[in-house]
Amino acid sequence: MASDPSVPSRLSRLSLRARLMALLGLVALLLVGTLAAQLMLQTRQRDVRNDILQRVDPALVALGDLRAALVDQETGVRGFALANDPRFLELTRPGTR
């Protein structure tokens, strides 16, 4: 059944001010929803970042220690190879533990 064009719809019965206020209310509601979603996502991102940093930072420290031990071993082996002095092999002992 088609609507009768002579009968005004509910929306057309509202004044322009009422329509604008309804539109402004809808925009405000969307803005508040977007803000709430942003705050939740930002909190989640901070938690994930902190978790990753707690796992990665110790690994970076261990990597630095490993690199230093490797350089010490290379230096000791090079010194021993050049001078045939067993004192240079002392540098290789901490890296073998």
Q: What is the mean pLDDT of the segment spanning 65-89? A: 87
Question: What is the pLDDT at residue 34?
Answer: 98
For residue 97, the 8-state DSSP code is -
The letter for the amino acid at 17 is R
Q: Is the pLDDT of residue 4 over 70?
A: no
Residue 9 DSSP code: P
| Range 78-87, long-range pairs (CB < 8 A, 24+ positions) | none
This prediction has a pTM of 0.48
pLDDT at 95 over 70: no
For the chain, the structural domain boundaries read 13-96
The Cβ-side half-sphere exposure at 61, using a 13 Å CA radius, reads: 5
CA angle 68, 69, 70 (to 5 degrees): 90
Question: What are the pLDDT digits (tens) for 24-53?
Answer: 999 999 999 999 999 999 999 999 999 988
- pLDDT band per the 50, 70, 90 thresholds, residue 96: low
Q: Which ranges of 1-97 does DSSP label H, i.e. alpha helix? A: 10-13, 16-83
Tokens of 87: 């004192």
